[in-house]
Amino acid sequence: MRFFYAAPDRIRYEPPGAYGTVQVSDGTQSHTLFGHRGFSGGRRYRSGPAAKRQDLPHLFRPDFPLAGGNEPLLFEGIDQRVTSAEILRDEDACNVVAVTYEPPPYAGFMLTRGPILFWINSENRMVMRQQGEIGHRMPTEDEVHWTRHTISVTNLHLNQPLPDDVFQFIPPADAILEPAEDGRISGGGGGGFSRRYPDSRGSVEHFGHHEWQGETLVEHSKWKLRGLNVTFERRLTFSNGENELRIEEHATGPGGESGASYNLPLK
């Protein structure tokens, strides 16, 4: 990808190819052009007020050093929340440093395992390469799937003039403006979320999906509340010439099961 940055808060992130996700912020407005096409056939983009400096995309986060699909390219805060750091060797004109960070104060869907390796240029102190393992966990599930991520810088130019229009955003002619989302994750017929509350309610996780079984819509829902798993299955079937909806519910918790069924008039 190409990444342009002008201090303190202007960025442009461009992956290769015609349909990569592009991010632009001019310090006042931020724009994201998504790399996929929507159901209507056009690409989609989102615009809104620019993020605060500490919330810029691609800014290093010590609580999650590799940041998944939001690769860190700005390294303010690289020295925060460090529990250990060790220079392992010199390689490619860089000091290779292994750094371990404090775990995040909350449970999330993405985790980091082991130290993060940084290749730091021995002359200008810029980070030229990062490597580490990222784990992905679905909401309410305990299993974590681990992958190794490497981010490398192949060309670096510092304190150079930039084109006047590099931080301007012009959406493609067929692009469609879409509203901001609420932060949930989703895919296909399912989705989930995780939230942590500051009071005694603790954290809440949810994952749900649905499917058709013949003429019955079956909804599956799993909640994790205060460390306890509770699952629900709800079956919805039209009856009486589609004048009623037959609803059957079944719930399972750590201490047992319970169920109920009823008819909901529709007309």
> What is the edge-to-edge ordering of all strands in the sheet holding 94-101?
82-91, 94-101, 110-121, 127-136, 145-152
- pLDDT tens digits along 95-112: 999 999 988 766 566 778
For the chain, percent of residues with pLDDT exceeding 90: 48
Both 135 and 232 in a single domain? no
Which of these three, 151, 177, 203, is where a domain ends? 177
Both 31 and 113 in a single domain? yes
- pLDDT tens digits along 14-66: 988 777 889 999 999 999 998 766 555 678 888 989 878 878 889 998 888 88
Both 211 and 134 in a single domain? no
pLDDT of 68 reads 57
pLDDT of 187 reads 39
pLDDT above 90 (res 139): no
pLDDT above 80 (res 169): yes
Total domains present in the chain: 2
Rounded to a whole number, what is the distance in angstroms from the first to the last CA of the chain?
56
pLDDT above 60 (res 181): no
> What is the edge-to-edge ordering of all strands in the sheet holding 22-25?
2-6, 10-14, 22-25, 29-37, 43-49, 176-177
Say which CATH number the domain at 125 has. 2.50.20
pTM above 0.85, yes or no: no
